[in-house]
Amino acid sequence: MTQPRELPIAGNGDVVLVRQHVRKVAVEVGLSLVDQTKVVTAASELARNALVHAGGGRVRIEIVHNGVRQGLRLAFSDEGPGIPDVQQALTEGWSTGNGLGLGLSGSRRLMDEFELVSEPGEGTVITVTKWAR
């Protein structure tokens, strides 16, 4: 079984590497093709988020268990400016960057669990999980 792994997110190329590694682990966890695609897409959004809003960060990728179910957990962390108003950031279409404002709200819909911890000036940690059906 793949050990938990931490990947840096420092440039555009890293976003691609994160996608590829997340895909590999999603297959190992036994996610359906559609769920694999959802997880990889969410990972891509969140990795780009860390890059655009915090100038970079890292992601921890691990396999988690809940009884007989297996899941994939991704924790994106950065030391960026943080998110002053989490509620607002999760609102569809709300964006500070030049995106469509779908990054956070969209990723939340693509995953089973979504947790956002942020302190202004301290950075942000976003933890998302998808369980195999």
Partner 1 sequence: MDRVPILKLGDILIVTIQIDLEDQSVLALQEDLADTVVATGARGLIIDITAVEIVDSFIGRMLSTIASVARMLDAQTVVVGMRPAVAITLVELGLSLGGVRTALNLEKGVALLDHVWDRARR
Partner 2 sequence: MTISTTAAQRRIEDLLGSHEAQTLKRWQEISETPADELRELFLALRAAVGEGDFSDVRGLLADFSRSRARLGLPPAQTSRAVFGLKEAVYELVEADGDPEALRGYIWFSKLVDDLGLFTFETYSAAREKIIRDQAEQLLELSTPVVKLWEGIVAVPLIGTLDSARTQVVMEKLLQMLVETGSEHAVIDITGVPAVDTEVAQHLLKTVAAARLMGAECSISGISPQIAHTIVTLGIEFGDIVTKATLADALSHALQRSGVELRRESSARIAVKAERA
**Contacting residues toward partner 2, per CB under 8 A:** 32-34, 68, 133
Q: What is the DSSP letter of 4?
A: P
Which region among 13-21, 62-70, 74-82, 119-127 touches partner 1 (by CB under 8 A)?
A: 13-21
Which region among 18-26, 59-67, 77-85, 125-133 touches partner 1 (by CB under 8 A)?
A: 18-26
Among 109, 113, 115, 133, binds partner 1 (CB under 8 A): 109
Burial of 79 (0-12, 13-18, 19+ CB in 10 A): middle
Sequence-ordered list of residues with C-beta below 8 angstroms from that of 15, at least 6 positions apart, any chain: 9, 44, 47, 48, 51
Of the pair 1, 33, the CB lying nearest partner 2 is at: 33
